[in-house]
Amino acid sequence: MTDHTRFAGHGVLVTGAARGIGAAVARRLAQEGGRVLVTDQDLPEAERTAASLRQQDLIAEALACDIADRASVEAAVAHAVAAFGSLDVLVNCAAHCTPDVPLFEDDPDDAWARDLDVTLTGAYRCCRAALPHLAASGRGAIVGIGSVNGLQDFGNHAYSAAKAGLGSLTRTLAGHAAPRGVRVNLVVPGTVRTSAWDGRDDELAALRAFYPLGRVGEPEDIAAAVAFLASRDAAWITGTTLVVDGGLTAVNTGFHLAVRRP
Ligand SMILES: NC(=O)c1ccc[n+]([C@@H]2O[C@H](COP(=O)([O-])OP(=O)(O)OC[C@H]3O[C@@H](n4cnc5c(N)ncnc54)[C@H](O)[C@@H]3O)[C@@H](O)[C@H]2O)c1
């Protein structure tokens, strides 16, 4: 159920919010009263997302922000503070994933560097720029978006290493930020139906079999978990990783298929 007050008056910045999970997070936090800066490297799509929120009488603005660029990130944080009066919630959603080449030894340097620079260092840049403002808010919260790729092997070496790194950054930053009144947590999704899977409907359908709860995720499944961790309902939760994956990593589906029980 949506609580329309949990983020009343909160300034919210979401990266990678033009589409997919980021857009669902922006919508959910706006529906709960947040004033949301929809940032993305794709400004036209970010503007469309923010406009659709405003059409529902929600508070949202769009801004171009490339999380691989320190100045761009700092400008986005400054914009949120100026526009909303405070920055209370940062959601790090933008990421980059380069598909693996068939042979590991043929991996190009730039693919590894790009995935790490956007997915891990990009989130770090956003946390660094936002932290003083989140500390000033008195109710600051950071929620990162990891991936089950950071927990188990699902391919994509660099992306997976970056996502695993986000778990560590979440814990070390939680320790640093707790005395400053800021909570830091990570949501770890399994497969979620977004544009990242466009044109791969057959694969998505086949993946259902690996999910004990019988389906892949929808962006709203992840947005609900983000909203919880960012809200006062999670006031005593920091440094944690919340896996939102329909049971994928907890339940050994292959084992259960092989072992017949009465
Ligand atoms: N979809 C899934 O199955 C899945 C599973 C696990 C984790 N995730 C994670 O969820 C998050 C969102 O994924 P999604 O499926 O919604 O992706 P998506 O491709 O639908 O959207 C990602 C958005 O990030 C933006 N972006 C990419 N690089 C950027 C940069 N340098 N600066 C700013 N914006 C940038 C893109 O323009 C895009 O709008 C990512 O962190 C992803 O790793 C997704």
What value does the mean pLDDT of the chain take? 96
pLDDT score at 109: 85
Tell me which residues are annotated as active site: 159, 163
Q: How confident is the model at residue 261 (pLDDT cuts 50, 70, 90)?
A: confident
- Does residue 60 have a pLDDT over 90? yes
The pLDDT-based confidence of 262 (bands split at 50, 70, 90) is low
Looking from the CA of residue 95, the nearest atom of ligand 1 is: 41
pLDDT of 260 higher than 80: no
Is residue 14 scored above 80 in pLDDT?
yes
Sheet with 241-244, strands from edge to edge, namely 59-64, 35-40, 11-14, 89-92, 141-145, 183-189, 241-244
pLDDT reported for residue 243 = 98
- Considering only residues 181 and 261, tell me which one the structure prediction assigns the higher pLDDT: 181
Query: 3-class secondary structure for the chain?
Result: CCCCCCCCCCEEEECCCCCHHHHHHHHHHHHCCCEEEEEECCHHHHHHHHHHHHHCCCEEEEEECCCCCHHHHHHHHHHHHHHHCCCCEEEECCCCCCCCCCCHHHCCHHHHHHHHHHHHHHHHHHHHHHHHHHHHHCCCEEEEECCHHHCCCCCCHHHHHHHHHHHHHHHHHHHHHHHHCCEEEEEEECCECCHHHCCCHHHHHHHHHHCCCCCCECHHHHHHHHHHHHCHHHCCCCCCEEEECCCCCCCCHHHHHHCCCC
First to last CA, the chain: 38
pLDDT surpasses 90 at 23: yes
User: Ligand 1 mean position to 94 CA, how many Å?
Assistant: 5
The CA angle 227-127-81, to the nearest 5 degrees, is 75
Q: According to the model, what pLDDT value does residue 186 have?
A: 98
Task: Determine the average pLDDT of the residues in 92-120.
Answer: 95
Phi, psi of 14 (to 5 degrees): -120, 130
For the entire predicted model, the pTM comes to: 0.97
- Mutation test residue for ligand 1: of 25, 40, 115, 226, the one with most atoms within 8 Å of CB: 40
The whole-number average pLDDT for the span 157-169 is 97
Confidence band for 2, pLDDT divided at 50, 70 and 90: low
Give the pLDDT score at 1: 60
Please report, rounded to a whole number, the percentage of residues in the chain having pLDDT higher than 70.
Answer: 98
Give the number of the atom of ligand 1 that is nearest the alpha carbon of residue 148.
6
Residue 146 C-alpha to ligand 1 middle, in angstroms? 10
pLDDT score for 257: 85
Q: How far is the CA of 190 from the centre of ligand 1 (A)?
A: 13
Dist. CA 93–CA 40, nearest whole Å: 10
At 43, the pLDDT band (50, 70, 90 cuts) reads: very high
- pLDDT on residue 92: 98
Give buried/exposed letters for 38-77 (b at 16+ CB in 10 A, else e): bbbbbeebbbebbeebeeeebbbbbbbbbbbeeebbbbbb
Reported confidence tier of residue 3, pLDDT bands at 50, 70, 90: low
Tokens representing residue 240 in the block: 């944690």
> What average pLDDT does the segment 165-175 reach?
98
At 251 the pLDDT is 95
The lowest-confidence range among 136-140, 196-200, 220-224, 230-234 is 196-200
Torsion over CA: 1, 77, 186, 213 (sign): positive
